């Protein structure tokens, strides 16, 4: 039933042209229909619009640090860091992405802290999501598995044991720079570790250094993804990525 008060306020709104703030700008309906994507058999399998970066067979989508061949060891369905051969980077460049990557640290535990099963997923080759054996392994909190290295500790430690396969599902927003090279929109990252949210859309401070604060250095809108050779035989498998 319409009350007097409602009628008065409606009349007032009509006179002044005002309306409740939340109705001020009618939300325009989207004009484009969402594209059809066929999901993978499981949520770990690549959907139809993903670029498969490693399917267990070869490193055709990767290269070494000097632009030469990637020299990590491909066995069975995984690739293992060959210590001393350097990081590997994708042939293709990416900006905003959804990334799925599976990894395992050595089953035979060796070393402590940062020297146990260390590797890393460098988004745009710049911003590291740490890979580490963080199962019963103490280190600084923003250096454990799933940390945005030296910036954000993971919200929780969702690590599986050494030798077990683990996954990261990462949503990354690339930073934007103005013409002077100043950052105007920082990178942001969300990470699920073994399906558990551990980074919730955090704003990255820039490139991490050991001896000075993180800083942004302007770079192209798309760059290769890089995996770290930290001298430990960490394994990766089932790597796929979607451009956003």
Q: Which parts of this chain interact with Mg ion (CB under 5 A)? A: 118, 120
CB of 145 to Mg ion, least distance (A): 10
61 or 130: whose CB is closer to Mg ion? 130
DSSP-derived secondary structure for 143-203:
GSTT-BTTTB--SS--PPPTTS-EEEEEEEE--EE-TTS-EEE--EEEEEETTEEEEEEEE
Buried b (16+ CB within 10 A) or exposed e, 73-96: eeeeebbbbeeeebbbbbeeebbe
CB of 89 to Mg ion, least distance (A): 15
Across the beta sheet with 119-123, the strand order is: 62-64, 88-94, 223-227, 119-123, 127-131
| Distance in angstroms (rounded) separating the CA atoms of residues 209 and 232 | 21
- Which one, of 126, 147, 133, lies nearest residue 226 by Cα? 126
- Beta-strand pair 97-104/235-243: antiparallel
Q: Are 141 and 147 in contact (CB under 8 A)?
A: yes
227 or 241: whose CB is closer to Mg ion? 227
CB of 43 to Mg ion, least distance (A): 26
118 or 151: whose CB is closer to Mg ion? 118
CB of 105 to Mg ion, least distance (A): 11
61 or 118: whose CB is closer to Mg ion? 118
Residue nearest to Mg ion (CB): 120
118 or 199: whose CB is closer to Mg ion? 118
| Distance in angstroms (rounded) separating the CA atoms of residues 40 and 48 | 7
Enumerate the β-bridge partners of residue 55. Answer: none
220 or 231: whose CB is closer to Mg ion? 231
CB of 228 to Mg ion, least distance (A): 5
CB of 19 to Mg ion, least distance (A): 54
Q: Maximum Cα–Cα distance for the chain, whole Å?
A: 80
């Amino acid at each position: 039933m319409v009350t007097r008060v409602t009628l008065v306020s409606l009349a007032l709104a009509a006179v002044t042209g005002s309306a409740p703030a939340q109705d001020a700008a009618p939300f325009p309906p989207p004009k484009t229909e969402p594209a059809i994507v066929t999901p993978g058999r499981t949520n770990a399998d690549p959907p139809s619009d993903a670029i498969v970066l490693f399917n267990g067979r070869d490193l055709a989508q990767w290269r070494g640090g000097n632009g030469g061949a990637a020299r990590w060891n491909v066995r069975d369905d995984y690739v293992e860091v060959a210590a001393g051969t350097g990081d590997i980077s994708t042939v293709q460049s990416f900006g905003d992405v959804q990334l799925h990557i599976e990894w395992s640290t050595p089953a035979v535990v060796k070393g402590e802290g940062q020297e146990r099963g260390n590797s890393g997923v460098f988004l745009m080759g710049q911003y590291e999501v740490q890979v580490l054996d963080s199962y019963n392994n103490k280190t600084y909190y923003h250096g454990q598995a799933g940390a945005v290295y030296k910036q954000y500790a993971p919200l929780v430690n969702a690590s599986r044991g050494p030798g077990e396969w683990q996954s990261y599902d990462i949503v990354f927003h690339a930073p934007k720079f103005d013409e002077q090279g100043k950052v105007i929109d920082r990178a942001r990252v969300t990470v699920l570790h073994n399906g558990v949210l551990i980074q919730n859309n955090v704003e990255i401070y820039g490139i991490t250094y050991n001896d000075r604060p993180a800083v942004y250095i302007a770079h192209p809108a798309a760059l290769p993804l890089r995996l770290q050779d930290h001298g430990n035989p960490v394994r990766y498998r089932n790597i796929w990525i979607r451009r956003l």
